[in-house]
Structure 1
Amino acid sequence: MLHLGDTAPDFTLKTTTGEAFRLADQRGKRAVVLYFYPKDDTPGCTAEACSFRDQYQDFQDLGAEVVGVSSDSEASHQKFTQKHRLPFPLLADTGGQVRKLYEVPRALLGILPGRVTFVIDKEGVVRYIFNSMNRATDHVAHARQVLIDLQASAT
């Protein structure tokens, strides 16, 4: 897996609107909370996405964009986004290339894609990695606190 202090690998994936999201386009502008999750509309993934939704303005105020990634299709992401009113992009990593690039491990005896969150600062450096399949909403709280700490150390 990537380590703290590593430069986050660049990638380009399609969003729910069909637009391309390229990580490198965020550099110098804002931090990115990049979270990998197993599957749209499952209980843990819904709780995680809705928790990010409910605190989205906090992330924006901290100078960060939230971006979710799973192997679900753009159509699946569109339904999930509409159903739960998600204000942030979900990216379709249908071939799992970005998941491999970020070395996100599989979970539950290798059956499910793992749940890992990366906080990437605006310079593109990995500042935090949280890997927990069962504590889905903790990803949100931890990422938010890391951004608060980064902001405090910058002043």
Structure 2
Amino acid sequence: MKVAIGSDHAGYEVKEAVKALLDEMGLEYEDWGTHSSESVDYPDFASRVAEAVSRGRADRGLLICGSGIGMSIVANKFPGVRAAVCHNAETARLSREHNDANVLAIGARTTPMQTIREIVRTFFRTPFAGGRHARRVEKINRLDDVWSDRRMTSEKIQ
């Protein structure tokens, strides 16, 4: 599994710590920045990671900003990306099992480092459950098709 990872200035130090955890887990990753704690705009880095996932250059993504919210909003603009802000291991597990989330967003300012480690381990080790959840994820994928084509017809959504 290849992971695209990125952060803004608020998440930079946590991102560096998480990279060590990804190494421990044996996961390959590519760091899309930022590469310092100097103030930057989170959409620039969230879009790099989301594009890598959307285009298949990475299997999963990991985004870290102050709250995780801004980066998740940006990531979810990209076709095929299902970004989830996770606050604990349980939300990470459910995001993978039920939603087949492929991008994890974490808040560096809102989540203790030990909890972040638990979230990351859980997110990258939990498989998608499939079953009834596959039908629901397929409906999300159809919405991607509709909106990315800029055709907003109700018959395509149903």
Q: TM-score range by the shorter chain?
A: 0.3 to 0.5
Relative contact order, higher structure (CA 8 A, sep 6+): 1
Indicate the structure with greater helix content: 2
| TM-score, normalised by the number of residues in structure 2 | 0.34
